[in-house]
Amino acid sequence: MPGSELFGAEERKEVQDVLETGVLFRYNHDAQRKGHWKTREFEAALAKFNGVQYAHACSSGSTAVAIAMAACGLGAGDEVIVPAFTYIATIEGALLGGALPVFAEIDDTLCLSVEGIRKAITPKTKAVVLVHMCGSMANIEEIVALCKEKNLVLLEDTAQALGASYKGRAAGTFGKVGCFSFDFFKIITCGEGGGVITNDKALYHLIDQFSDHGHDHVGDNRGMEAHPIIGFNYRIGEMNSAVGLAQIRKIDYILQQQRKHKKAMKAALAKFPQVKFRQIPDENGDSATFMDFFLPDEATTRKVVAALKAEGVANLTGIQYWYDNNYHYIRNWEHLKALKSPAKMPIHLLEKPQDYNNLDLPITENLMSRLISLVVKVAWTDEQLKELTTKIEKALTSALG
Q: Which of 86, 198 has the CB closer to ligand PLP?
A: 86
Q: Using an 8 Å Cβ cutoff, are 158 and 171 in contact? A: yes
DSSP string, 167-224: TTEETTSSSSEEEEE-BTTSSS--BS-EEEEES-HHHHHHHHHHTBTT----SS-GGG
C-beta of 182: minimal distance to ligand PLP in Å? Answer: 7
Which residue, 65 or 144, is less far from ligand PLP as judged by CB? 65
| Closest CB 181 distance from ligand PLP, rounded Å | 3
Complex with ligand PLP: residue 244 or 395, whichever CB lies closer: 244
Q: Nearer to ligand PLP by C-beta: 160 or 165?
A: 160
State in angstroms the smallest separation of the CB of 373 from ligand PLP.
12
127: helix, strand or coil: strand
Q: How far is the CB of 185 from ligand PLP (least distance, A)?
A: 7
- Which run of H or of E encompasses 319? strand 319-320
Segment 147 to 206, residues that bind ligand PLP, using CB under 6 A: 157, 159-160, 181, 183, 194
**CA-based angle 383:384:389, to the nearest 5?**
100
Nearest distance, CB of residue 123 and ligand PLP, angstroms: 28
Strand, helix or coil for residue 62:
helix
Least Å distance, CB 289 to ligand PLP, is 10
- Does residue 86 bind ligand PLP (CB under 6 A)? yes
Return the residue nearest ligand PLP (CB atom).
61
DSSP-H helix ranges across 270-361: 298-310, 334-337, 346-349
Residues near 163 by beta carbon (within 8 Å), at least 6 away in sequence:
135, 187, 251, 254, 255, 287
CA 110 to chain centre: 13
Min dist CB 337 to ligand PLP, Å, is 19
Shortest CA distance to 125 belongs to which of 94, 156, 96?
Answer: 94
What part of residues 39-78 is at the interface with ligand PLP (CB under 6 A)? Answer: 60-62, 65
| Burial grade of 151 (CB within 10 A; 0-12, 13-18, 19 or more) | exposed
Q: Min. distance of Cβ 110 from ligand PLP in angstroms?
A: 11
Q: Which residues contact 104 (CB under 8 A, 6 or more apart)?
A: 81, 82, 83, 112, 113, 116, 117, 119, 120, 361
- Window 5-34: residues binding ligand PLP (CB under 6 A): none
Q: Specify which residues 153 forms β-bridges with.
A: 127
Nearer to ligand PLP, 198 or 385 (CB): 198
Indicate the residue among 295 and 329 with the shorter CB distance to ligand PLP. 329
Identify residue 190 by its one-letter amino acid code: C
Select 191 or 346, whichever has its Cβ closest to ligand PLP: 191
Compute the least distance from the CB of residue 227 to ligand PLP, in Å: 26
277 by DSSP, 3-state: which?
Answer: strand
Least distance CB 246 / ligand PLP (angstroms): 18
* Minimum distance of ligand PLP from residue 322's CB (angstroms): 12
Q: Which is nearer to ligand PLP, 23 or 371 (CB)?
A: 371
Strand order of the β-sheet with 100-104 is 54-58, 194-198, 177-181, 153-157, 125-131, 79-83, 100-104
| 143 sits in which H/E element | helix 140-150
**What is the per-residue binding string for ligand PLP in 129-148, x denoting contact by CB under 6 A?**
--x-----------------
Mark 279-318 with x for binding to ligand PLP (rule: CB under 6 A) and - for no binding.
----------------------------------------
Report the chain's C-alpha Rg in angstroms: 21
Segment lying near ligand PLP (by CB under 6 A), choices 11-19, 86-94, 259-267, 381-389 = 86-94
Compare residues 49 and 329 and give the one whose CB is closer to ligand PLP.
329
The site for ligand PLP, by CB under 6 A, has a size of: 15
CA separation for the pair 243, 249 (Å, rounded): 10
Which of 4, 39, 50, 90 touches ligand PLP (CB under 6 A)?
Answer: 90
What is the contact surface with ligand PLP in residues (CB under 6 A)?
A: 60-62, 65, 86-87, 89-90, 131, 157, 159-160, 181, 183, 194
